[in-house]
């Protein structure tokens, strides 16, 4: 499965943002902690330019922190998933602008628990499921019933909350499952997503 699909015109802009042979790494901010789909796409971007050290990934707790870091010059670019419901605020920020837009497939998503937790589907309607808000509709599409939810800042944070025993079930991705030593008890699929890389606006 091809992870990134970047058009030729967007690829030229991307290559200009991260030039080969630069002595200084370009800092790309995105949503953490380790194991998020955002980190997965950022790593795929780094590999797509040959895995060289030109791109340094900086993980923040929220996308808003990424944008603050970008506006303040602490990072050079910021990567945001279009499924994030508050992405419109970033487009409206007069200090920022979209640099490139592309498609990037996430890791596989599913329901995950700790290895020693005995899961049955009936528990979805008595237990609280922790999730980032973006993938919550997966529950309705796959199970067709409302579920009690708790929100986390990222899919990886949701996995960490289960690993730490705060909750028993999370919607998360395969990266976070490995990172936090969980197990999938129901698999959805990867999510075909579109993404924006933002940069600071250059006054002309």
User: How does pLDDT run across 82-102, given as a tens digit for each residue?
Assistant: 999 999 999 999 999 999 999
Torsion, Cα of 132, 7, 88, 142 (10° steps) = -30
CA 195 remoteness from chain centre: 10
Q: Which of 135, 118, 126 is nearest to 176 (CA)?
A: 135
Is pTM beyond 0.85 here? yes
**Domain regions of the chain by residue span:** 4-106+192-200, 109-187
What CATH number labels 4-106+192-200?
A: 3.40.190.10
| pLDDT given at position 126 | 92
Amino acid 16: pLDDT: 87
* pLDDT the model gives residue 20: 66
Residues of the chain with pLDDT under 70: 1, 20-23, 50-52, 204
In the block, tokens 């030729």 appear at 8
For position 22, what pLDDT does the model report? Answer: 64
Token pair of 187 as six digits: 């698999």
Q: What is the pLDDT of residue 1?
A: 65
The CATH superfamily holding the domain 109-187 is Periplasmic binding protein-like II (3.40.190.10)
Q: What is the pLDDT of residue 5?
A: 93
Q: For residues 35 and 155, is the Cβ–Cβ distance under 8 A?
A: yes
Residue 103's pLDDT is 96
Same fold, 4-106+192-200 and 109-187: yes
């Amino acid at each position: 499965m091809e992870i990134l699909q970047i058009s030729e015109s967007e690829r030229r802009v991307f290559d200009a943002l991260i030039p080969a042979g630069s002595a200084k790494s370009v800092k790309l901010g995105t949503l953490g902690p380790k194991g998020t789909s955002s980190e997965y796409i950022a790593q795929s971007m780094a590999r797509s330019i040959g895995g060289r050290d030109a791109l340094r990934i900086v993980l923040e707790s929220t996308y808003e922190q990424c944008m603050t870091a970008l506006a303040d010059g602490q990072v050079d670019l910021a990567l945001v998933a279009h499924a994030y419901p508050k992405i419109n605020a970033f487009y409206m920020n007069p200090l920022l602008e979209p640099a490139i837009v592309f498609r990037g497939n996430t890791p596989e998503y599913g329901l995950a628990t700790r290895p020693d937790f005995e899961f049955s589907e009936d528990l979805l309607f008595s237990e609280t499921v922790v999730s980032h808000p973006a993938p919550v509709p997966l529950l309705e599409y796959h199970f067709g019933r409302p579920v009690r939810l708790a929100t986390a800042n990222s899919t990886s944070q949701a996995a960490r909350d289960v690993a730490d025993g705060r909750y028993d079930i999370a919607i998360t991705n395969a990266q976070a499952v490995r990172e936090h030593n969980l197990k999938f008890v129901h698999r959805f699929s990867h999510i075909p997503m579109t993404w924006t890389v933002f940069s600071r606006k250059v006054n002309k």
